Chains A and B, each alone.
Chain A
């Protein structure tokens, strides 16, 4: 099975900061990676798919990059609504795996 490792596990930042979350796959997954945002008590929300394609309605301050085994999610200027937990997720040969999550906290 493909393992996904996210870093950091927790990130403290301030409104207006630029932040980056990294996700590494244990083997190559081409561009089959998605990013989700989840707030407490809510279902996850798709932000990015195919590593870098912004989901409709998601603010342009969110961006994704990478291919193969290393991927990043960048938020260019943090807004109050962005403090949440973020997950990466890979898809390979019909099987999926999530990263362990990154909790983005207010500094």
Chain B
């Protein structure tokens, strides 16, 4: 089955760190750019990062310097290392596949909840 499954979410204190994982299956993971997108409760979608097939990565200003996206093709896995977490980072984090055309996400996971609170 073609799917993405996120894990690693949880409760973390402000200033803390967390590493999210996304396990891909059913497709050739190494052939796709991959993204992280987040959504705070009751709010809209916010793009968090992208990693290309060659390992190049990009971030919006809101997380640049604090978050690092990485991938391990041999394990069909995507990661998001989140440091210096703030209350505003509280959200459901989705991984998504860039499948149909550059920058459109045709496959999404169910998400993992990250809560930043003391």
The residues of A with any CB-CB pair to B shorter than 8 Å are: 1, 32, 34, 36, 38, 43-46, 49-50, 53, 55, 87, 89-92, 94-101
B106-A55 in contact (CB<8A)? yes
A96 touching B61 by the CB < 8 A rule?
Answer: no
CB-CB < 8 A to B109: which residues of A? 43
- A97-B100 CB under 8 A given contacts A43-B111, A44-B105, A44-B108: no
A-B contact pairs, 28 of them (CB 8 A): A1-B61, A32-B101, A32-B103, A36-B105, A43-B108, A43-B109, A43-B110, A44-B94, A44-B108, A46-B100, A46-B104, A46-B105, A49-B100, A50-B100, A50-B101, A87-B44, A89-B45, A89-B47, A89-B103, A91-B104, A92-B103, A94-B50, A96-B47, A97-B47, A98-B44, A98-B46, A98-B47, A101-B44
| Smallest beta-carbon distance A67→chain B, Å | 14
Residues in B8-59 with C-beta less than 8 Å from chain A: 35, 37, 44-47, 50, 52, 56, 58
Chain A interface SS verdict (over half): strand
Chain B residues positioned under 8 Å from A99 (CB to CB): 44
Which residues of B lie under 8 Å from residue A38 when comparing CB positions? Answer: 45
* B60–A49 touching, CB < 8 Å: no
Are A49's CB and B104's CB within 8 A? yes
Name the residue of chain B whose CB is nearest to the CB of A6: B44
The yes or no answer to B102 lying at the interface (CB within 8 A) is: yes
The minimal Cβ–Cβ distance linking B98 to chain A, given in whole angstroms, is 9
A55 and B110 contact, CB distance less than 8 A: no
